[in-house]
Structure 1
Amino acid sequence: MAERAFTQAMGRDEATGGRATVDAPFGHALVEIAKSRDDIVGLTADLGKYTDILPFRDAHPDRFFNVGMAEQNLVAVAAGLARTGLVPFATTYGVFASRRAFDFIAIACAHSNLPVKIVAGLPGLTTGYGGTHQAIEDTGLMRLIPDLVVIDPCDATEIAAATRAAAAHPGPVYMRLLRGKVPVVFEPDGFEFTIGKARLARKGTDVGFVSTGFMTERALDAAAALERRGISAGVLHVPTLKPFDSEAVIQFAGSVEHLVTAENHVVWGGLASLVAETLFDAGMTRRLTRIGLPDRYIECGSVPTLQKRYGLMIDDLVAAAAGERA
């Protein structure tokens, strides 16, 4: 089936605050990996164009499979290929992978510790297509699956590095995907990504943002705005939700009195819950403000309008950190 033309609600080319961008960093990273690894294969559920895997298809057409609009079959086929010694990267929208194919990821892939990599587009509130397409609870679901690595990269640099790390990881991986022209937040030169490790992106002494995914870019911009107001804000970027870097969170929390979690996800079950669990287990008390989505289905509309309505903007982070949020 031919794929339809792009529409604005698919969340491509969001405002990047003037930062440089890289087009389709996942697809191009996979092409580079596959040049030296014949075991890498690519699959999609009729969403190749919208999950940035077409560069791989064009470079390696004999190693690319479109299974059609059948996400459970996508994961099952990927698991079967993995049992033959291949390393499949299977792409679809996060909402379809996490809801429709949850059991297949849990049993066909994770239960057997197969090296299947699920690459999930349209994470959280990055599409205006409403509750059927917005993966607002996917990291919470995926982190409950034993032995499944869960990654929410910040930018183009980290997407490429996380793709390489996923390919090298011997077990299953679920990775959220920012697609199209993705901003560059972290400098590529010397950038290292390690599964299970957080990154101290900025030091601060008054308040600390603990963020994941594209919310780290906004946390860094919010920290800069707070500095102009005389508030010292640190940023701890947590790209891996599972395994979770509890040690880094505890150390970061020890440097500030107020923590603000920021995630493109409901505030239950994902990053905020992980931070709260970590503080509780460590016997540490900190003021904790959660930035994220509410416990409800999100309506249709333009992405910027929805993100503003639900408090994911830089100004919302600034207000939360400054204690000004209602």
Structure 2
Amino acid sequence: MRDTFVRTLIDIAKDDKNVHLITGDLGFGVLKPFWEQLPDQFTNAGIAEQNMTSFAAGLALQGKAVFTYSIGNFPTLRCLEQIRNDCAYHNANVKIVCVGGGFVYGSLGMSHHATEDLAIMRALPDVTVLAPGDLVEAECATRAIYQHQGTCYLRLGRGGEKRIHEKIDDFQIGKAIKIKNGEKVVIFSTGAIFDEVVDAIQSMEEHSINPALYTFPIVKPIDRAAIEECAEQYELIVTVEEHNIIGGFGSAVSEVLAELPGPRARILKIGLDDRYSSIVGSQKYLRDVYGMSAEKIVKRIQGIFCE
């Protein structure tokens, strides 16, 4: 995803000299093509994310479209006050980009596990939150936040994500994307955890469970219409996120469901069960440990239908 983001941003920045990319002293192997081709539109702010964010806000308030870039929690939690006070409050045109959402940097420990970022960024007024699930969504999301005025958060994986789409004809902020129809159960996925969801569905189909599937590359504003439609059509809505189940994507869906009148689908939220990820290991290993692997997703859903 990060390579796709950089390639897309280079295309955008070549056509718009007001686009500026700031890194917090990270990502040089990936960002090198940008600074080589567009050196006047690139700044390394050093390991000083608070300064990076305030600097970005200042540039944005002078007419620039500014992208900040770092890994894990560094461009978000480390400089949350600056995002809130300098960027979001002023509706500054700053696009905060995190590479390594969830357990991408699993071997570096909990300080690098980005598992509360969606909830925290979603809580800030007027901040648009995106978590694409594949390379096509990542490209569309990058172009969408460039065109969207105001502060945005783009949460990326790292690389090697499975391809969902050949193309997306009508990518819109605030709209989910239907992948397939199904029966009784529908799975909502956000971010790079989508590859586990695909494997889980293939396994369930072999055991006569045929879930519908939507991907939600936009967490805020959430697609209320898609949720409401599925709540009437299916018995169970399952949300899957590589993130704490408190305050994140599943909570956003639950908020919509809670306001619906009459009978509706029940919800199962799959993610990190309101705890710190204190174990160290690969992304694949940690997904399984914390119940987000394809096998664990299948077991959770089968458990409900066997009640």
Whether TM exceeds 0.5 here: the answer is yes
1:271-310 equivalence runs, <5 A: 271-283=249-261, 284-298=263-277, 299-310=279-290
Note if 1:126 corresponds to 2:108.
no
Work out the CA distance in 2 between the residues paired with 1:307 and 1:100: 24
1:23 Cα deviation after fit: 7.2
4+ long deviations beyond 4 Å: none
1:259 Cα deviation after fit: 1.5
* TM-score where L is the length of structure 2: 0.93
Residue in structure 2 matched with residue 136 of structure 1 by the alignment: 115
Note if 1:95 corresponds to 2:80.
no
Work out the CA distance in 2 between the residues paired with 1:59 and 1:183: 29
Work out the CA distance in 1 between the residues paired with 2:159 and 2:48: 23
Residue in structure 1 matched with residue 27 of structure 2 by the alignment: 48
Which amino acid in 1 is paired with 2:301?
A
1:249 aligned counterpart, secondary structure = helix
Deviates more, 1:244-253 or 1:69-78: 244-253
1:247-301 residue CA offsets vs partner (Å, 9 max, x unmatched): 1111112221112110010011001111111111113543322210122221222
Q: Cα 1:308–1:228, aligned 2, differ >3 Å: closer, same or farther?
A: same
Once superposed, what is the RMSD of the aligned Cα atoms?
Answer: 1.8
Residue in structure 2 matched with residue 13 of structure 1 by the alignment: none
2:110 aligned counterpart, secondary structure = coil
1:181 Cα deviation after fit: 4.0
* TM-score where L is the length of structure 1: 0.88
1:132 aligned counterpart, secondary structure = helix
Which amino acid in 2 is paired with 1:246?
R
Q: Which runs of 5+ in 2 are unaligned?
A: none
Decide whether the 8 Å contact of 1:123 with 1:135 is kept in 2.
yes
- Identify the structure with the greater helix proportion: 2
1:198-225 residue CA offsets vs partner (Å, 9 max, x unmatched): 1111111121111100123322332232
Which amino acid in 2 is paired with 1:249?
I
Work out the CA distance in 2 between the residues paired with 1:54 and 1:308: 34
Residue in structure 2 matched with residue 167 of structure 1 by the alignment: 146
Which amino acid in 1 is paired with 2:165?
F
1:116-153 residue CA offsets vs partner (Å, 9 max, x unmatched): 00001211122221111111000000011111000010
Residue in structure 2 matched with residue 256 of structure 1 by the alignment: 234
Decide whether the 8 Å contact of 1:126 with 1:134 is kept in 2.
yes
Which amino acid in 1 is paired with 2:158?
R
1:59-138 equivalence runs, <5 A: 59-128=37-106, 129-138=108-117
1:214 aligned counterpart, secondary structure = helix
Tell me the matched-pair count. Answer: 303
Q: Cα 1:55–1:192, aligned 2, differ >3 Å: closer, same or farther?
A: farther
Work out the CA distance in 2 between the residues paired with 1:111 and 1:139: 18
Q: Which runs of 5+ in 1 are unaligned?
A: 1-21
Decide whether the 8 Å contact of 2:2 with 2:157 is kept in 1.
no
Determine what percentage of the aligned residue pairs are the same residue: 36
Decide whether the 8 Å contact of 2:21 with 2:41 is kept in 1.
yes
Note if 1:313 corresponds to 2:258.
no
2:125 aligned to 125, 142, 146, which one? 146
1:109-258 equivalence runs, <5 A: 109-128=87-106, 129-188=108-167, 190-258=168-236
Decide whether the 8 Å contact of 2:161 with 2:192 is kept in 1.
no
Which amino acid in 2 is paired with 1:265?
H
Work out the CA distance in 1 between the residues paired with 2:117 and 2:240: 16
1:222-244 residue CA offsets vs partner (Å, 9 max, x unmatched): 22322222112011211111111
Work out the CA distance in 2 between the residues paired with 1:79 and 1:169: 16
Decide whether the 8 Å contact of 2:161 with 2:195 is kept in 1.
no
1:39 Cα deviation after fit: 1.0
1:248 aligned counterpart, secondary structure = helix
